[in-house]
């Protein structure tokens, strides 16, 4: 048992990093959002401020994972994600900074493009700007199969590619993300509070696995709450358990599966499809805290946190940390779509209040609203 008393920071020191990310990231109060919701006291861990390539939580993982890539003599990085993947953008930026070739399996079919600009703007534009080679593949539900196939193709051509899994989520990625706990614990202590919970969006599972493992050792009284944004809570929780167990083995700490809390019901109708609660969360974060959130990840994460607060999960005198995973660069790419959804919701509410059917130019498709022929609303 004595071995488990070794501090988290000492255990993490055994794993080298490259220094790609600007760490530690800030921990800031959200006083106006706290007042609006009536408590608990809310804080934000700014993982959107990691720096390189517009930052984000994946850069913290890549700091460690790509150290292993360089140590192995890799000449190329291979990863993948959907067209507007934040993870792909951070992989491409890191590869450019390190002078490595970057090959990305770009999955099509998981999300219906909401606007004509979807395939060329936002993160898709940045991937090209950072020099990544993009390989279009169909979405099959297997997150890593096409990435592994691409690795095999490059090996057959004499290259030394390094496999970076979807979302940079594996055992080493989870170990890397445990460093977030080693930052939050002293930051919170310096600010005079101990978090009752750390709440974040969870999908590829490596982020939550790292938080769970780190908190078990350094912040055992803090609950880690993952808001499922994939609309696949059972799969997400199983992946968190797998990665957390593997990371715990690497760090030589015990792991209790019961500490894995994945909250369902806040992903909207599907992955990548924002709903009314997401729009409200994005609006509140922007207007009250000047905090841009994206509609696929961080917006849904905050929507889940707001819902839990309204359900009375925490006392008003407790402190809760929201972990901002980044991705705000996606907002311009989705702006027209989000504006239309917001308009449609307002119009339908007005029609409902008037007991009248909605106008013909609105379509209700699993809580997603689009224009039928894109006329100007009358």
Report the percent of the chain where pLDDT is more than 70: 86
Residue 347 pLDDT > 60, yes or no? no
Q: What is the mean pLDDT of residues 329-345?
A: 57
Residue 365 confidence class, pLDDT cut points 50, 70, 90? very low
Catalytic (active site) residue 298: no
Q: What is the mean pLDDT of residues 36-45?
A: 97
Peptide bond connecting 30 to the previous residue in cis, omega within 30 degrees of 0? no
pLDDT at 116: 79
* Average pLDDT score, the chain: 89
Q: What is the mean pLDDT of residues 39-49?
A: 97
Which letter does DSSP use for residue 73 in this model?
T
pLDDT at 248: 97
Residue 44 pLDDT > 50, yes or no? yes
Least confident range of 206-210, 216-220, 371-375: 371-375
**Closest alpha carbon to 309 in 367, 352, 266:** 266
pLDDT at 26: 98
Selected residue with higher pLDDT from 370 and 70: 70
Question: Which ranges of 224-330 does DSSP label H, i.e. alpha helix?
Answer: 233-251, 276-289, 298-310
Listing DSSP states for 134-195 in one string gives: EEEEE--S-TTHHHHHHHHHHHHTT--EEE--GGG-SHHHHHHHTHHHHHHHHHHHHHT---
Residue 371 pLDDT > 80, yes or no? no
pLDDT at 18: 97
> Per the structure block, which two tokens stand in for 51?
């720096």
pLDDT at 251: 97
354 within 8 A of 338, measured Cβ to Cβ: no
Model pLDDT for residues 146-192, shown as the tens digit of each residue:
999 999 999 999 999 999 999 999 999 999 999 999 999 999 999 99
Q: How far apart are CA 377 and CA 345, in angstroms?
A: 13
154 within 8 A of 177, measured Cβ to Cβ: no
pLDDT at 364: 45
With b for 16 or more beta-carbon neighbours within 10 A and e for fewer, the 23-32 pattern comes to bbbebbebee
The whole-model pTM stands at 0.88
Residue 2 pLDDT > 50, yes or no? no
Selected residue with higher pLDDT from 6 and 222: 222
324 within 8 A of 47, measured Cβ to Cβ: yes
What is the SS3 assignment for 220-232?
A: CCCEEEEEECCCC
Q: How far is CA 12 from its chain centroid?
A: 22
pLDDT at 374: 35
pLDDT at 370: 40
Residue 377 confidence class, pLDDT cut points 50, 70, 90? very low
Listing DSSP states for 308-360 in one string gives: HHHTT-S-TTSEEEEEE---GGGHHHHHHHHHHHHHHHHHHHHHHHTT-PPPT
Those residues with Cβ within 8 angstroms of residue 24's Cβ, 6 or more apart along the chain or in another chain:
183, 187
Report the percent of the chain where pLDDT is more than 90: 79
Do β-strands 223-228 and 261-263 pair in parallel, antiparallel, or remain unpaired? Answer: parallel
The one catalytic residue in 85, 169, 204, 248 is 85
Residue 54 pLDDT > 70, yes or no? yes
Q: How far apart are CA 165 and CA 203, in angstroms?
A: 13
Q: How far is CA 259 from its chain centroid?
A: 20
Model pLDDT for residues 256-315, shown as the tens digit of each residue:
999 999 999 999 988 988 889 999 999 999 999 999 999 999 999 999 999 999 999 999
Residue 30 pLDDT > 80, yes or no? yes
Residue 349 pLDDT > 80, yes or no? no
């Amino acid at each position: 048992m004595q071995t488990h008393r070794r501090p988290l920071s000492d255990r993490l020191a055994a794993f080298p990093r490259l220094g790609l990310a600007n760490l530690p990231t800030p921990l800031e109060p959200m006083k106006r959002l706290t007042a609006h919701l009536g408590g608990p006291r809310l804080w934000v861990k700014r993982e959107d401020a990691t720096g390189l390539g517009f930052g984000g939580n994946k850069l913290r993982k890549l700091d460690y994972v790509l150290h292993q890539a360089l140590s192995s003599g890799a000449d190329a990085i291979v990863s993948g994600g959907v067209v507007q993947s934040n993870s792909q953008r951070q992989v491409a930026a890191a590869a450019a900074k390190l002078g490595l070739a970057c090959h990305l399996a770009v999955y099509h079919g998981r999300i219906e493009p909401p606007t004509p600009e979807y395939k060329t703007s936002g993160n898709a534009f940045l991937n090209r700007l950072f020099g990544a080679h993009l390989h279009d593949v169909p979405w099959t539900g297997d997150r890593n199969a096409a990435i592994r196939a691409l690795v095999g193709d490059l090996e057959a051509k004499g290259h030394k590619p390094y496999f970076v899994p979807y979302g940079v989520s594996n055992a080493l990625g989870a170990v890397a993300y445990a460093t977030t706990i080693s930052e939050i614990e002293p930051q919170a202590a310096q600010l005079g509070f101990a978090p009752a919970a750390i709440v974040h969006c969870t999908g590829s599972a490596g982020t939550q696995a790292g938080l769970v493992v780190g908190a078990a050792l350094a912040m055992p009284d803090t609950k880690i709450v993952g808001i499922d944004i994939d609309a696949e809570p059972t799969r997400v929780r199983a992946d968190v358990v797998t990665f957390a167990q593997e990371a715990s083995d690497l760090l030589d700490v015990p792991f209790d599966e019961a500490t894995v809390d994945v909250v369902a019901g806040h992903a909207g109708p599907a992955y990548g499809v924002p709903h009314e609660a997401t729009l409200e969360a994005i609006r509140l974060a922007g207007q009250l805290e000047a905090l841009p959130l994206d509609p696929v990840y961080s917006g849904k994460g905050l929507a889940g946190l707001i819902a839990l607060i309204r359900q009375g999960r925490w006392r008003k005198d407790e402190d809760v940390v929201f972990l901002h995973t980044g991705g705000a660069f996606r907002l311009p790419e989705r702006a027209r779509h989000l504006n239309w959804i917001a308009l449609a919701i307002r119009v339908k509410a007005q029609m409902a209040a008037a007991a009248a059917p909605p106008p013909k130019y609105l379509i209700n498709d699993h809580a997603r609203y689009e224009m039928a022929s894109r006329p100007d609303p009358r």
